[in-house]
Structure 1
Amino acid sequence: MTDNRLLMIVEDDDAFAKTLKRSFERRGYTVLIADSQEMVVQLLADHDPGYAVVDLKLGGQSGLVCVQALHAHDPDMLIVVLTGFASIATAVEAIKLGATNYLAKPSNSDDIEAAFARSGGDTAIPLAPRPTSIKTLEWEHIHEALKDSEFNISEAARRLGMHRRTLARKLAKRQIG
């Protein structure tokens, strides 16, 4: 891994990206901003970041393709995925594709920097016998359908057998960040 403090932020929300950029620059990072997978590839041609923060949902794209590209560029890069659509399915896929951590929004630069520091696993974490509720199962099923339909709400609603507006209302109620 490069020992530099070059950070790439992959975020399509311009205001949030600029806020994160300023915060990390105050912490001594040099920051690059990309808003799509294409821009990530362009920036990687000229730069070698040691850190990356990737939004899971980039407009009509999945941020997971960016995680995959960043990890392919440098397997030692510390990559944190941020999402307002947290689910077990997307967390597992993000880690499989090379992310070192996965955070639900709202998260700030303190949370992200702490996630960079916790890039290894913790075998001492307590295992809590907590049964999954019906609401949690429904939420995970919805997010699995969203992921499979590349975050297309109309297609996910069709796969779930519900009206698109019903799905949109459910997402609006549970969206974090």
Structure 2
Amino acid sequence: MTQKLLIIDDDAVLISTLKRAMERRGLSVTTATNGKEAIKRLQETEQDFATLDLKLEKESGLTILEQILAVQPNLKVVVLTGYASIPSTVEAIKRGAQDYLCKPASGDDIFAALTGSKVATVEIAEKPLSVDRVEWEHIQRVMSENDGNISATARALGMHRRTLQRKLQKHPLDNV
């Protein structure tokens, strides 16, 4: 019998990529973009696994975690996040997550975390990311959260719009 996975994330590109990767590994995949939709999917169909974004558009993944486990207590949930921290990791595990992975995680690592087929490994880069690269990725993440709106992104980052535009014209070439 095919095992079923529910992907809960608000990033359409990630959903599409992860769905294809997990289907190639033999899972039947359903998706949801928010907590309400996820609960509806779980009430409709029993799932074996779920991946859950820690920070959805207007919802906390930790709150959704408790809600989905109330619907299906045996669901194996792996929390995925671009905002990893030790406190959020501990809290996710306390609330019932099976594992916690930082984005971007490989399809192999996510599959391993879901199924327990092998221990997911985290490679430590020999050369750490440069400050410019970290700043660039943070700006891109905030820009994505603001649907590409430069003015809203500048406000969220606490910088002038022109300063943000200058930073966006620069592309970090190291650690790409």
- TM-score, normalised by the number of residues in structure 1: 0.63
What are the Cα deviations for residues 97-148 of structure 1, in whole angstroms up to 9, with x where unaligned?
Answer: 11000001110221111112449x9xxxxxxxxxxxxxxxxxxxxxxxxxxx
The equivalences for 1:146-161 within 5 A come to: none
- In the alignment, is the contact (CA less than 8 A) between 2:43 and 2:71 conserved in 1? no
Aligned residue pair count = 123
Point out where structure 1 has 5 or more consecutive residues left out of the alignment.
122-162, 170-177
Alignment correspondent of 1:27: 25
Task: Give, in whole Å, the separation in 2 of the partners of 1:25 and 1:50.
Answer: 14
Q: Secondary structure at the match of 1:93?
A: helix
Task: Give, in whole Å, the separation in 2 of the partners of 1:4 and 1:69.
Answer: 25
Q: Which has the higher contact order (CA 8 A, sep 6+)?
A: 1
Larger Rg: 2
- In the alignment, is the contact (CA less than 8 A) between 2:42 and 2:72 conserved in 1? no
Q: Secondary structure at the match of 2:112?
A: helix
- In the alignment, is the contact (CA less than 8 A) between 2:7 and 2:31 conserved in 1? yes
How far does residue 61 in structure 1 lie from its aligned partner after superposition?
Answer: 1.1
Q: Secondary structure at the match of 1:32?
A: strand
Match of 1:14 among 3, 12, 27: 12
Task: Give, in whole Å, the separation in 1 of the partners of 2:23 and 2:115.
Answer: 17
Task: Give, in whole Å, the separation in 2 of the partners of 1:91 and 1:80.
Answer: 11
- In the alignment, is the contact (CA less than 8 A) between 1:67 and 1:98 conserved in 2? yes
Match of 2:47 among 40, 46, 49: 49
Task: Give, in whole Å, the separation in 1 of the partners of 2:44 and 2:29.
Answer: 14
Range 73-82 or range 25-34, more displaced? 73-82
Q: Secondary structure at the match of 2:101?
A: strand
Task: Give, in whole Å, the separation in 2 of the partners of 1:29 and 1:164.
Answer: 39
Task: Give, in whole Å, the separation in 1 of the partners of 2:115 and 2:50.
Answer: 13
- In the alignment, is the contact (CA less than 8 A) between 2:5 and 2:28 conserved in 1? yes
Match of 2:108 among 94, 107, 110: 110
How far does residue 55 in structure 1 lie from its aligned partner after superposition?
Answer: 0.5
- In the alignment, is the contact (CA less than 8 A) between 1:21 and 1:31 conserved in 2? yes
Give the 4+ runs in structure 1 shifted more than 4 A: none
Alignment correspondent of 2:125: none
Alignment correspondent of 2:36: 38
How far does residue 22 in structure 1 lie from its aligned partner after superposition?
Answer: 0.8
How far does residue 4 in structure 1 lie from its aligned partner after superposition?
Answer: 4.9
Point out where structure 2 has 5 or more consecutive residues left out of the alignment.
120-155, 165-176
How far does residue 164 in structure 1 lie from its aligned partner after superposition?
Answer: 6.0
- TM-score, normalised by the number of residues in structure 2: 0.64
Q: Secondary structure at the match of 2:66?
A: helix
Match of 2:93 among 80, 86, 95: 95
